[in-house]
Amino acid sequence: MPFELQWAVEERVAGLEALLGRVCEACFQLEGVENAGMTVRIASAEEVRGLNRTMRGIDRETDVLSFPGAAFRPGRTAGMDPARVRRLYDPSLGWRNLGDCVISLSRAREQAREYGHSLARELGYLTAHSAFHLMGYDHETPKDRAAMRQMEERAMAMASLARTEEPPMTDQQLYDLACEAMHNSYAPYSGFKVGACLLSSDGRVFQGCNIENASYGATICAERSAVSRAMMEGARSFTAIAVVGSGAQAWPCGICRQVLNEFSDGMRVICGQYGQDFEVVPLAELLPHSFGPEHLGVQEDGHGK
């Protein structure tokens, strides 16, 4: 794919690679540049601020920064200068690299909330915005701004026309993320390492591992450590969790089943032993006749009576 995604943050946004791939393709196609690509780096707010300071002398946070591989003459964009675009060919990538885009994940999340759309959509929009900057567009004058905006809108429409539904995270991908999380386990007492990965209803993933304690009862299971992480990022409902154990298939313990039930959006449990296949079972089957927030009059959005 003529596009390279770099993750400079721990969190992953499910299905983003495919979505951004479609957005980039749409942008380059609309401009009429062939065999072109760009890199998109999903970074922390601090990294983006640091780059803004060192590269542009502006010491403040921003949502997206663009570093074009070529400067097009004023008033001209990539599509009008194919010779210039051809010189951007990078043999190691196999395509013409128009430049780099760096996006602040936390700023994108804030903006998504503000505009009331998904994080994936906001990341898609910021990528399109950057792609057009890399191709020589800017928004200095109202006329230029309107032209750039029109291209962004056409690209977004093209990208979403092509899509059916946002591609969901596969069970295998979630399980792999749980395996990755397992390596952070702190389990010197039982030696039983557990990793977990939650998938939120809005497509975000949150990893967790078990954290043991010399006072054994103070131990936190991998599932609840993932829940803690998710809560702090504002996620409140989950469609799946993958859990992996180092020494045996790690079925969630009773306490974890109860905690997961609190935030379940038809949650499926993907469960296995490290290095082996996994099984998938609905949480409702692991915790039948459950007692949950609805019995105390608490609504889905977490509001009480």
Per CB under 6 A, residues contacting ligand THU are: 187, 190, 192, 194, 210, 212, 219, 221-223, 250, 252-253, 256
CB contact at 8 A, 234 and 261 = no
- Which residue, 26 or 271, has its beta carbon nearer to ligand THU? 271
- Which residue, 108 or 271, has its beta carbon nearer to ligand THU? 271
Q: How far is the CB of 175 from ligand THU (least distance, A)?
A: 15
CB contact at 8 A, 208 and 260 = no
- Which residue, 67 or 192, has its beta carbon nearer to ligand THU? 192
Task: Give every CB contact of residue 15 below 8 A, 6+ residues apart in sequence.
Answer: 120, 166, 167, 168, 169, 203
- Which residue, 80 or 259, has its beta carbon nearer to ligand THU? 259
- Which residue, 219 or 261, has its beta carbon nearer to ligand THU? 219
Residue 213's SS3 state is coil
Q: How far is the CB of 201 from ligand THU (least distance, A)?
A: 22
Give Dmax (Cα) for the chain.
69
Q: How far is the CB of 103 from ligand THU (least distance, A)?
A: 33
Per-residue tokens: 21: 């791939």
Q: How far is the CB of 189 from ligand THU (least distance, A)?
A: 7
Per-residue tokens: 252: 């969630």
Which DSSP category does 255 fall into? H
**CA gap 71, 135 in Å, rounded:** 8
CB contact at 8 A, 23 and 155 = yes
Angle at 34 between CA 90 and CA 25, to 5 degrees: 100
* Residue whose structure tokens are 């006329």: 143
Q: Which helix (H) or strand (E) holds 86?
A: helix 82-86
Q: How far is the CB of 49 from ligand THU (least distance, A)?
A: 36
- Which residue, 74 or 188, has its beta carbon nearer to ligand THU? 188
Q: How far is the CB of 253 from ligand THU (least distance, A)?
A: 4
